[in-house]
Every structure is written in structure tokens, then in C-alpha cells.
Structure 1
Amino acid sequence: MKWSWRAKSKAETKAEDGEGTETGLECDAESIGRRIQRRTDAAGEAAAAAERAAPMLVAERWGGRVAEWGHWLARSPTGVDLIHWWFDEAELTALVGEDRYVERLGELLSQASARDIAAMGLGCTRRVDRACRFAEVCSQDPVVPPGEKLASHRHGEVPGACSSFIDCFSKHEIDVTFADGDRHRSVLLFRDHPGEARLWVDGVRVGEGEWLDKGGFWEGERFFTIRIEGPEDHPEQGIGAMGNQLCTIVSLLIHDAQRGTTRILVPEATESWTDPVLAVRDGAGWVYPTREARAAGGAPDRVFLLDEPEADDPEAGDPEAG
């Protein structure tokens, strides 16, 4: 007697499939080939269906703008890491704490390419208030003529993406600027207060412990400059003008990306540094109290040699000797 609920034996299963009998198909090479082909076709159809569904899955998880960068992100592990870290902020902050989340965000932005950052959805050189709308162009590889370097100041839509990015909407207030054909870059997370701001230049923390302005500038593609809080005892010190992040008199931080060194210039009592700027001329750095003073072309307040020996370099010798 056969019970309908009884599990079939292997022999019964093979018999129903025509296997293990003289008339079975397992000995028929042509039938085996058809079976293999059916499995191959089924696998191909499944892969094609998965590929068609991928953009929808990405859009559901990270949004349609990220999906448009899929072909680039498939080539960029750092970009994928950055996307995960950026979009999973709440969960990752709960896991590692806010301080570590911010630190890792700065590290990833310091490693990412311009295209990786564009894929995040930040504003760019073309439009600071919205994400890139030209991923089909900006995700392409830039064409650099032989003997030349990637353009430092890029304005989309352009292969390789723009050269600067601004975050106008998150609490981190990200500002990333590439320089010298993307050989250098500054990453600033202002975070709503000069005392909370964090700055990286070429992946190295710069200006730790200082109150930083909301944004800096590259001069000559070698020097990154940013205003920082000035001396409290300066005779002209006071509350900054509306919209300024710092007090009236400020100091100037200058980071030499080529040498990896940082100097901070503090104004003397007779120097009215309300908007100090650096000009690079004749192998020297000229510091003016304001942009207007630099434009006027007068005498600078300070002058220093760009490649003067390091103070702690035992091989440098005495710069005044001879």
C-alpha cells in the first residue's frame, strides 16, 4: 500500500524522472546537453533579472542619485565605503560614537576621489545647493593630454567631476576642495561652530585645538590658508561683523602641502588683520591684512621665504651664515 504522505525514495524519484532505467535519459549525451543548456539559460536569465533590478534596489536603499553613479562605484571601493558611512550615520554613530563617526568621515573624505564625493550627493562647483545632475558625464574618466595634469579648477558637467564640494544641509557642513590636479585636497567639517570644526589637508589633521573659520583657500595650489581665532588682547579685538564666524581680528593658518608643514601667523598690536590673505611672489609668502590691501598691491605686513630651512632640521645649518 502506498501512503500519499510518505516521502519518495531516491529510486522512485529517479524512476519518475526517467533516470536509472534502460530508457532513462542519463545515458543520452544529447539529453544531458539539453539539461545543461537549460540550467545555463536559467542562470543567465536570473543574472539578467538581477542586473535589471539592481538600480531599483540601489535607489530604494540610497536614492536615485547614487544609483546613477553605480558604474563608477563598481570601480571604487573607497567610494562604496564612503556611501555606506554617509548614509548609515545614525546606526554607525550609535555603534562607534559621534566623535569616532566624525573622525572616520573626515578620513574617508580625505581618501575619496572627486567622483566618490559627487556620488554622495553634495553640492559642487556648478551648484552648491544640490547634488550633481550629470552623473552620466561626470562619472567618466577625464582625458588628460600627454605631459599635462588634471585641471585643478573644474566646473561641471565635466568628466572626473567638479573640483570642490559643499554640504549645505547636514550638520557636518562639509567643504572639500581639490588642488594641483587633485594631488592635494582640503577637507573641512565646520559643524556649526569654529570650536567644533575639524580640518584635514592631504589626510592629515591640521589646526587641532584652534577655532577655525568656515572655509579656507588654496594659494598657488601649494598652500592652504584659513583664518583662525586671533589674539584676545589685540587692541582692536571685538565681536565680528554679522555673518562672520570669528572675532574682528583674526590670525592666519598656512599649511604647506608640498612640505607637510603648518605655520600660524598672529597679528601684532599694530596689524589690523580682519581678513588676512597670502600672496605667493618671487619665492616668498606675502601676507596682507585684507583682500583689498592685496588687490591694491601695497607693501605686505609680513614676508617669509617659502622654502626656508625647517627649524628642527639639523642639516639645514644657519640660514644667515656666510
Structure 2
Amino acid sequence: MVQKEVNCLFTKNTLPFQINALPSTFSQFRKKVENIAIDINLNHLDSLPPMPSEIDVSSLKMATLPLNQTKKTLLFKGGEQAALKHCQTYFETTYPSRYKETRNALDGFDNSTKFSPWLALGCISPTMIYAMLKQYEKINGANESTYWIYFELLWREYFYWYARRYQNALFHFGGIRNNPPLTSFYAQRFQQWKHGQTPFPIVNACMHQLNQTGYMSNRGRQLVASCLVHELNLDWRYGAAYFETQLIDYDVASNWGNWQYLAGVGADPRGSRRFNLDKQTQVYDPDLKFISQWHGECKNSQIDFQDYVDWPITSVTNKGDT
């Protein structure tokens, strides 16, 4: 029996194009695939393959997390059973019917699906989630929000095939078109960004959230990426690499594909995405609750304390200086 691929919705045979002819934008991809029937008949496994003979199971020990990583285990419990329980619980609520209205919230566990950690680790397949979504729509009715859950699964799917198509170019500074952006690397700026000590409170709050929980909302990821590329003029790959070390739902294709998209070297036909951070704060945190909760205010913060050769910069000129 031919085993179905379980980490994607489609296969090379069901895609209406060859991988090397992957559409250059997500919109083009979506229009070609969103109406393709997805086989939700999952193969039943009667047995698992034997353990490789080279591995001595008796010598294996349970891995332990460093003390500074323990908080990142509180939001999510690993494994297939936990994944199934979470997804079933989610679809037993009315949250899917208002997902599009809440998905951009910066915080709140129930405002988005939170499927990504289990998808990233292969604890559940996108096909299983799609089957649960279809069952939910059958019982509760379909609307724009339930479609948007599928829409987000298609974004993940696009980046999966994007990585298969472009391979090493996923990590190139110039992206898939070999067109390097006008950014550089400033060590101090990068440290400020990592530790949430920039002049931008909403970015600081998002980075504190990431560092403490291993998770950040989709909206937050866009804002901190825009800040790194446009406000701090840093090489986008450092941001992508830092996300790789921190995200509990790290997925190589989605992470690096999205960073390319924000940096203007990937699948976005309009070039890089720059967000007005003040406006975004007014829209998504008008009462500054999120910023307050995650201590986003950083007094006396400025972008540079040293110049490009690490000489100190001060904003006050000493008397007698010329």
C-alpha cells in the first residue's frame, strides 16, 4: 500500500503543476488549489516499523529542559494525544465561527487556533485538521471565519512547497530572486531587538512574550520582523535564525518563507512589508494592555549607543567639544 504524505494537504501528483512551476505568489497558488478535493481518508496503521537495531533503548534517558526554558512548556503539551485533544476541544467551541475576527489579537490563547506547535512537530497532520474543520462546518455551518482556517492551512501548504521548490535559496540573503535588500548588521541593534529593548514598545512586548513563552501571535511576528528590517535596518536572516531558536512552533518552511516575504526577497509581489508601529499599536493595543502586561516600555531607549565601529555615541555634547 502506498503511504500518503502526512505533513501536507496535497501531493506532487495532486498538485495541478510541477514543483518547479510553483506559482510565484500565494494568491496564484491558492486560486489553483483551493477547490481541489482533499482525501481525508487516513490510512489505518496496524503496526509500526521495528526500532533500528543500532539504537539501544535501555540507554536512552529522558531529556530535561534548562531552567530558563521551563516556562515554554506551560502553554502546550507535546504528543499526538495532546494534539488531538486540543483540536477536538477547539472544534467543540464556537471559536472557529469567529476566527477571522479574533486571529489578529496579540494575546489570548483562544483568539487563534494554536494548531501550529503540533503541526510543526508532526503530532497531527493538516489533513486531520481539515477533516475536523469540514465536520465542524457540516454541523455548525460554514462562514468566512471557517474558510479562513482553511486559508491559513493553505498558507502553510504554500510555504511547504515553496521550500521544496527553492531549497537552499530559502536561506539566501537575496532570497529566491537573488536581490539582496539594503540592510546590514549592527550587533547592538540586534541585541536590543532580541531582548525587547528598542524604542518601540509594541515590539518590545512581543519579544518579551516570545522569550518567555516560545510563542508569538501572527500579527506580532509581522510587526517585529518589520521593525528588524525597516526600523533597525538589519539583515532579515538574523531575525529568522533567532525565531528558529525560540519558537515552540518553529517550522523551517513557514519561518524562513515568511521572513523572506516580510523582507521583500520572497513571494510578495509588492516588495517588503513595512508596518507603521504607532498605527498598529492604536489598532491592536489601543489601551496599551498588551504592552503593559509584557513590559514593552523601555525608558531612554535609542537605536544606537555605538557607531558602526563600536565607538560610543551620546546624545549630549560635552562643554568644550567641537
With normalisation by structure 1, the TM-score equals: 0.28
Higher relative contact order (CA 8 A, sep 6+): 2
The structure that has the greater radius of gyration is: 1
Structure number with higher strand proportion: 1
With normalisation by structure 2, the TM-score equals: 0.28
Structure number with higher helix proportion: 2
